[in-house]
Structure 1
Amino acid sequence: MKPALRALSPASWRQSFSLDGRDVARWFPGHMAKGLTKMRSSLRRVDALVEVRDARIPLSGRNPLLQESLGLKPHLLVLNKMDLAELSAQKKIVQRLEAEGLRNVVFTNCVTDENVRQVIPMVTDLVASSYRYDRQEDPEYCIMVIGVPNVGKSSLINSLRRQHLCRGKATRVGGEPGITRAVMSRIQVCERPLMFLLDTPGVLAPQIESVETGLKLALCGTVLDHLVGEETLADYLLYTLNRHQLSQYVRHYGLAGACDDITSVLKQVAVKLGKTQKVKVLTGTGAVNVLQPSYSAAARDFLRAFRSGLLGPVMLDQDVLQSCPPSSDP
């Protein structure tokens, strides 16, 4: 059962998110454009695609350009970071993805290797059902791993190597976008069957379909925070948590209660964490030192807590799922 927010009518919370003139940046660096071009040119030596998305944004976390450019190959969708996602509507997520033509879906957590063992058998079956010639004549599999930045593509590769080869990292991972900047050479992840993966840079669409989608992508770390604004992202996170009646942030920071005003929340967080600094303020009797909360430091911690799961599992695409037609299943 979800913890209750303070006793306020639903109308007391924001029903929409206003940017108030704040600009949400587009992020399409040169290495992304070059990476997409190289990915297209590498398709002829690829047997299948493994697309990785963040499980918190299973619908918003796609790049239409990848589907349009690379969609002719057998396709497995991996919804990673399942431990951070609220998955009570998992069946509905799968149904919605199937309606979009994505019929091969697996939820994973590459940190704990949960469900990762399903990936290679599923890819092998996909390739076998898609090719008419005998695979015994060409026993090697070459699979391209694709997705937007910071969804765990490199982590998936390293997880597969741990499980199937008992080897360490073959590719760098990080908590921010842009770690992988080029289509790399083949990385072996399995002996039987002999399978190699191509790690690729995360690629965003040059024009994100809506501001709301852009904010969801940014919350999950697909763009550098300062390009959108840490306090803007923190405000959108607060709006989302309150709208879905998720009050774990209140307990995590020991706040007096749930609140829909980001300035008030960040001020309380800054004081709780000791993120304050002395500033001189002129008064009628002279200058005095007062403690000023660091709103940017509080916003960074608020985002970090969300991304590491300390504020509880969240489904950022809940509004999109609610707009889906009801299932016809009995």
Structure 2
Amino acid sequence: MQSSLKLVDCIIEVHDARIPLSGRNPLFQETLGIKPHVLVLNKMDLADLSEQQKIIRHLEREGLKNIIFTNCVKDENVKQIVPVVTELVGSSYRYHRGENAEYCIMVIGVPNVGKSSLINSLRRHHLRKGKATRVGGEPGITRAVMSRIQVCERPPVFLLDTPGVLAPRIGSVETGLKLALCGTVLDHLVGEETLADYLLYTLNRHQLLG
């Protein structure tokens, strides 16, 4: 990932909209430095969006100014991404690209949040083409930084898919359980019974059990 950074104009970080304030890898921001950064909160169709504006305000206080909620299965809000990225790159110093009209974007995030699905969704929307990367319902489908994948012709936009990377240390047990319930780690590594107990506890706490 580090070796590819010098070729990248912007970073798209994908995270699960069900846990917008938990589980993001803090090392991403430290590693990626001053590159323009867009946070895509994917799987919005599975999330409770009643607090969406509150979530956005919280993230903005942390310095995140470009936040987009998406559902890549149905391509919802995906059309917002390329205009936001091109505007960000256009207003930043492309120190290694000169007047090159192409945009090279790196897609990062923890495992199984929909990075590959986002790339495929962008291709469907802009190019009317099918899958370019494998997707799956468990972490670890993408295992290496892939070659450039074109997702748009006007302007020419290329994306680099990357493997999901969890933080070296997860801040709390509850954050770890949330990540596991969202599929970022395999269930058996945490324990199916532990996950079931936590899920029932959460549903009961929010009075969602009938």
Contact residue 14 and residue 115 of structure 2 kept, 8 A: yes
What one-letter code is carried by the residue in structure 1 that aligns with 2:81? V
Given candidates 163, 184, 192, the residue that maps to 2:146 is 184
Distance between the aligned counterparts of 1:151 and 1:132, measured in 2? 29
Aligned to 2:93: 131
Q: Deviations over 1:104-157 (max 9, x none)?
A: 000000000000000001100110111278x88200100000000000000000
Aligned to 1:203: 165
Give the TM-score normalised by the residue count of structure 1.
0.62
2:187 equivalent to 1:225: yes
Q: Deviations over 1:18-66 (max 9, x none)?
A: xxxxxxxxxxxxxxxxxxxxx1121100000000000011110300111
Distance between the aligned counterparts of 2:62 and 2:192, measured in 1? 33
Distance between the aligned counterparts of 2:169 and 2:59, measured in 1? 22
2:2 equivalent to 1:43: no
Report deviation, 1:70: 1.2
Distance between the aligned counterparts of 2:4 and 2:167, measured in 1? 20
What one-letter code is carried by the residue in structure 2 that aligns with 1:67? Q
2:105 equivalent to 1:143: yes
Aligned to 2:126: 164
Contact residue 9 and residue 94 of structure 2 kept, 8 A: no
Aligned to 1:58: 20
Aligned alpha-carbon RMSD (Å): 1.3
Distance between the aligned counterparts of 2:157 and 2:94, measured in 1? 19
Give the TM-score normalised by the residue count of structure 2.
0.97
Contact residue 23 and residue 176 of structure 2 kept, 8 A: no
Give the structure with higher Rg (CA).
1
Distance between the aligned counterparts of 2:126 and 2:82, measured in 1? 9
Aligned to 2:198: 236
Given candidates 189, 214, 217, the residue that maps to 2:176 is 214
Distance between the aligned counterparts of 1:66 and 1:157, measured in 2? 19
Contact residue 54 and residue 61 of structure 1 kept, 8 A: no
Aligned to 2:56: 94
Distance between the aligned counterparts of 1:118 and 1:100, measured in 2? 22
Distance between the aligned counterparts of 1:107 and 1:178, measured in 2? 23
Aligned to 2:40: 78
Aligned to 1:30: none
Distance between the aligned counterparts of 1:103 and 1:151, measured in 2? 20
Aligned to 1:116: 78
Number of paired residues?
209
SS of equivalent residue, structure 1 residue 227 = helix
What one-letter code is carried by the residue in structure 2 that aligns with 1:147? G
SS of equivalent residue, structure 2 residue 53 = helix
What one-letter code is carried by the residue in structure 2 that aligns with 1:131? Y
